[in-house]
């Protein structure tokens, strides 16, 4: 259960606002509370405007590190700059030329698509299942990452035939529409294919026999 704020804690926040000191430097007076929770309570419940400290060179270095990494800005700020908010980080990044406030990071909160790009480099095609196995993540996570970039950075470039005769999407990098999906097999075609695969498995039919005869000739 969330612990309610006491009158003494509210008085600490009012004192911080009155003196214009930095809240982060006064958090020792609020044991058991986080900086973000204290700042939120001061603004939303007490209507207090707390002082904002200037950014240090160390914080600027961390901010550059976040923007240069695959990690989302929001997650990176929460992890590496806990005394700063996401909006503060975006505003400061814009001031020092790291980002444009009108532009959002392409890949959101996940670095999965960055990794997918590396796997699909050089024109490779792969299914969602293959990508999930290689990246060690869930099939649903890969599917979400691909569909988010569908048409702009990735698309279905081809289709693979499954053992049961069905089709699976093979993804490639690049913008544009998906490749046209092959027509469904008729029931008779599906049955013939199924019987042929059964013969191969049973050893009654060798699909490479003709090829070997041509090579021998």
Q: 196: domain CATH number?
A: 1.10.10.10
The pLDDT of residue 95: 83
pLDDT along the chain (217 residues), means of 10: 86 86 86 90 86 80 85 82 81 79 46 83 92 86 88 91 82 92 71 68 60 61
The pLDDT of residue 28: 92
The pLDDT of residue 213: 61
Same domain for 167 and 122? yes
Same domain for 84 and 169? no
Q: Is residue 37, in this structure, part of any structural domain at all?
A: yes
Q: Is residue 70, in this structure, part of any structural domain at all?
A: yes
Q: Is residue 209, in this structure, part of any structural domain at all?
A: no
Same domain for 150 and 67? no
The pLDDT of residue 207: 54
Report how far apart the first and last C-alpha atoms of the chain are (Å, whole number). 83
Both tokens assigned to 56? 């240090």
The pLDDT of residue 25: 81
Q: Is residue 29, in this structure, part of any structural domain at all?
A: yes
User: How many domains, in total, are found in the chain?
Assistant: 3
Q: Is residue 214, in this structure, part of any structural domain at all?
A: no
Same domain for 66 and 141? no
Same domain for 153 and 181? yes
The pLDDT of residue 1: 57
Same domain for 37 and 70? no
The pLDDT of residue 108: 46
Same domain for 126 and 87? no
Q: How far is CA 36 from CA 65, 69, 81, 134, 137, in A?
A: 22, 24, 11, 38, 31
- CA–CA separation, 45 and 48 (whole Å): 8
Q: Is residue 173, in this structure, part of any structural domain at all?
A: yes
Domain membership of residue 169 as a residue range: 107-201
The pLDDT of residue 77: 86
Q: Is residue 207, in this structure, part of any structural domain at all?
A: no
DSSP one-letter string for 68-113: HSSS-HHHHHHHH-TTS-HHHHHHHHHHTTS--TT---TTTT--HH
Same domain for 187 and 123? yes
Same domain for 72 and 113? no
Same domain for 177 and 125? yes
Same domain for 61 and 35? no
Q: Is residue 161, in this structure, part of any structural domain at all?
A: yes
The pLDDT of residue 217: 58
Same domain for 37 and 63? no
């Amino acid at each position: 259960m969330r612990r309610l704020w006491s009158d003494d804690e509210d008085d600490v926040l009012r004192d911080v606002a009155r003196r214009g000191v930095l809240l982060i430097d006064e958090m020792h007076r609020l044991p058991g509370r986080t900086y973000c929770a204290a700042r939120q309570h001061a603004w939303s419940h007490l209507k207090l405007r707390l002082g904002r400290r200037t950014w240090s060179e160390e914080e600027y270095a961390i901010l550059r590190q976040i923007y240069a990494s695959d990690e989302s800005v929001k997650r990176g700020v929460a992890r590496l700059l806990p005394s700063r908010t996401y909006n503060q980080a975006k505003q400061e990044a814009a001031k020092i030329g790291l980002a444009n406030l009108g532009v959002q990071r392409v890949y959101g909160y996940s670095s999965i698509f960055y990794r997918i790009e590396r796997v699909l480099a050089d024109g490779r095609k792969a299914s969602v299942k293959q990508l999930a196995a290689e990246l060690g993540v869930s099939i649903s996570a890969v599917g979400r990452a691909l569909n988010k970039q569908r048409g702009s950075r990735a698309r279905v470039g081809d289709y693979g035939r499954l053992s049961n005769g069905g089709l699976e999407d093979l993804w490639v990098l690049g913008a544009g529409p998906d490749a046209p999906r092959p027509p469904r097999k008729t029931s008779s075609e599906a049955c013939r294919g199924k019987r042929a695969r059964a013969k191969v498995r049973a050893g009654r039919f060798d699909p490479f026999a003709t090829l070997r005869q041509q090579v021998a000739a």
